[in-house]
Amino acid sequence: MLDDFLIRATLAGIGVALAAAPLGCFVVWRRMAYFGDATSHAAILGVALSLALSTSVFAGALAVALAMALTVSTLSDRGFAMDTLLGVLAHSALAFGLVAVSFLNGVRLDLNAYLFGDILAVSRSDLAVIWGGAVLVVILTLWRWSALLTSTLNPDLAYASGIDPKREQLVLTVGLAVVVAVAIKVIGALLIVALLIIPAASARSLARTPETMAAFAAVLGAISALLGLRVSFQYDTPAGPTIVCVAAIIFLASTIAGQLKKA
């Protein structure tokens, strides 16, 4: 069954959607879109380093994405303006990654596949990594859900409850790094944040509780992946961007539905 590339692509899309959905909700609630952008851009540098060292692309992307996320968290605590810091680090990491790729002699690298994704080229081993990462992220989120939610909604209440918001920020950072590492092959470094944010933003106007928002985000993300693949296959369009386009259309529809519900 897994010999069919469309089945592998479908499973990969659903896996990434399940991993991105719960963390995407926290990204939306915490207004961390640019944080996710910086982390995903850094993954290109991780790809270059992993190819240069002949190691797993997943491991390289994960290590550099995690390093970037930890750097941002550390520097933001030292008085740097967050938006300026993220802007500098995000574009610098992407630029260094692209330059590093140019030094890889004798290595065949389809850079567009890592920038915009190549879900149709997902292998069985890629599928195992994606679903392994998705299961890890879901377990981590379920384990820390209450603490993450409390520290997101009210840091003072979190401190009063014995919860360290900085620790929960670190948990979220690790989760985002894992999502970036597993999604880079499917959706690409430039589109990862879109799949994190858009399904969660779509679910926000439909859900009444944080838990239902996360569930709706997972469902809408999976639907975006399935419909995006179908449209891409039928009209011969790039799969990654097409998935994001479908997610954007779903966001527009959910926003209109939410407004009509309030009227």
* CATH number of the structural domain spanning residue 62: 1.10.3470.10
Sign of CA dihedral 173, 238, 218, 209: positive
Q: Is 103 exposed, middle or buried (CB count within 10 Å of its CB: 0-12, 13-18, 19+)? A: exposed
Task: Identify whether 261 is part of a domain.
Answer: no
* Residue-averaged pLDDT of the chain: 84
How many structural domains does the chain have? 1
Is 208 contained in some domain? Answer: no
What's the pLDDT band for 101 if we cut at 50, 70, 90?
A: confident
Is 50 among the domain residues?
A: yes
Considering only 16-30, 101-115, 225-239, which range has the smallest mean pLDDT? 101-115
Taking the complete model, does pTM exceed 0.75, yes or no? yes
| Residue 100 belongs to some domain of the structure | yes
Q: Is residue 209 part of a domain?
A: no
Does residue 126 surpass a pLDDT of 70? yes
pLDDT at 40: 83
In a domain, 246, yes or no: no
Q: Which structural domain, as residue segments, surrounds residue 52?
A: 5-190
pLDDT greater than 60 at residue 1: no
Residue 107 CB burial class (10 angstroms; 0-12, 13-18, ≥19)? exposed
Token pair of 195 as six digits: 């799949």
Beta carbons of 17 and 218 less than 8 angstroms apart:
yes
* Torsional class of 31: left (φ above 0), alpha (ψ -120 to 50), beta (otherwise): left
For 91, 117, 171, 211, the CA distances from 149, given in Å and listed in that order, are 30, 31, 12, 10
Tell whether 114 is covered by a domain.
Answer: yes
User: 39 in a domain, yes or no?
Assistant: yes
